[in-house]
Amino acid sequence: MSKILAVVNQKGGVGKTTTAINLAAALAMEGLPTLVVDCDPQANTTGGLGLGRDDARMSTYDVLVGNATIAEATVSTGIELLKAIPSSKNLIGANFELVNGERREFRLREALAVVKEQYPFIVLDCPPALDLLTLNSLVAADGLLVPMQAEYFALEGISELMSTLDKVVSAFNPTLVLEGVVLTMYDPRTSLSQQVSENLKKFFGDKLLQTTIPRNIRLAEAPSHGLSVMEYDPKSRGAEAYQELARELLKRNKVVSPREKERKASAGRPKEIRFWPYNK
């Protein structure tokens, strides 16, 4: 199995980049080779993975305009099984350079097709706008993962988001589906969060993921160190939430990761009984 997930929401500040970085990291730590593609000219995913911003390096821009293949633009990260395609400010120009290009909406899809089978999961971090960069991501994706804050304005954007999905499906990508909606910066103590969660559950049904991402200072601190939250503070609530999100998505896709097999094997093992003195 190989699946491309576009992390998308036309509203900014909802945790798209945080979700892209940490979900990809969590999937890789489950023992699954994972590729994260930074499709945002702000390059926050690139910086958050500790790759730095280097405009001279091959990037998503070079892939889209045909200057590089996915393999040539791929770089390693601090996590063994996690690879990345970095972004740069050059990507801003792609919106204009591709306007009159042939098959402009399919550039990313066709580039990823060459390496897709090498990765069980490819995660695309999209910019907070419905431009040609986001359209390339939606055309390339198999499923949309939508981070959404539990607030009133999030509800207002639902119809626009679903309208966008319908248009892309009818015009460019008939197999594209909504993978799921994940609540971010969630505080269950507030009545507003609970009300929004209930409304989203009525609207999306089982597409609203059970895992919620809490407000957590470690999630905010980790990118400044160029680390995923699992590397920065693996015992934090944020790290545990993204690990749980990865496992929920794996379960929904009927994927048993190498780490899950190890957990099941160790759970079936009888515990060793030791007697004092332990050094004998």
The total of structural domains in the chain comes to 1
Q: What is the pLDDT of residue 129?
A: 81
Cβ neighbors of 279 (< 8 A, separation 6 or more) are none
277 part of a folded domain: no
pLDDT reading at 274 higher than 80 = no
280 part of a folded domain: no
**pLDDT above 70: percentage of residues in the chain:** 95
pLDDT reading at 222 higher than 70 = yes
Least confident range from 11-25, 125-139, 221-235, 264-278: namely 264-278
> Residue ranges of the alpha helices (H) in 67-131?
70-73, 94-97, 107-113
Q: What is the pLDDT of residue 275?
A: 61
Q: What is the pLDDT of residue 98?
A: 86
Q: What is the pLDDT of residue 278?
A: 57
pLDDT tier at 95, thresholds 50, 70, 90: confident
Can you give the residue range of the structural domain that contains 100? 3-268
Task: State how beta strands 34-38 and 121-125 pair.
Answer: parallel
Least confident range from 89-98, 116-125, 135-144, 223-232: namely 89-98
Q: What is the pLDDT of residue 24?
A: 98
pLDDT reading at 81 higher than 90 = yes
Tokens of 277: 């003195």
pLDDT tier at 266, thresholds 50, 70, 90: confident
149 part of a folded domain: yes
The pLDDT tens digits of the residues spanning 33-79 come to 999 999 999 999 999 999 987 888 999 999 999 999 999 999 999 99
Q: What is the mean pLDDT of residues 245-249?
A: 97
pLDDT tier at 279, thresholds 50, 70, 90: low
150 part of a folded domain: yes
User: What whole-number distance in Å separates Cα of residue 65 and Cα of residue 76?
Assistant: 22
Amino acid at 31: G
90 part of a folded domain: yes
39 part of a folded domain: yes
Least confident range from 14-23, 79-88, 191-200: namely 191-200
Task: State how beta strands 82-85 and 75-76 pair.
Answer: antiparallel
- What CATH code is carried by the domain that includes residue 155? 3.40.50.300
Amino acid at 12: G
Q: What is the mean pLDDT of residues 137-166?
A: 86
Q: What is the mean pLDDT of residues 74-91?
A: 95
Average pLDDT, the chain: 91
Residue 120 near residue 249 (C-beta atoms within 8 A): no
Least confident range from 45-54, 110-119, 151-160, 242-251: namely 151-160
274 part of a folded domain: no
Name the residue with higher pLDDT: 187 or 20: 20
Cβ neighbors of 278 (< 8 A, separation 6 or more) are none
Amino acid at 38: D
pLDDT tier at 112, thresholds 50, 70, 90: very high
Q: What is the pLDDT of residue 156?
A: 72
User: What whole-number distance in Å separates Cα of residue 105 and Cα of residue 29?
Assistant: 32
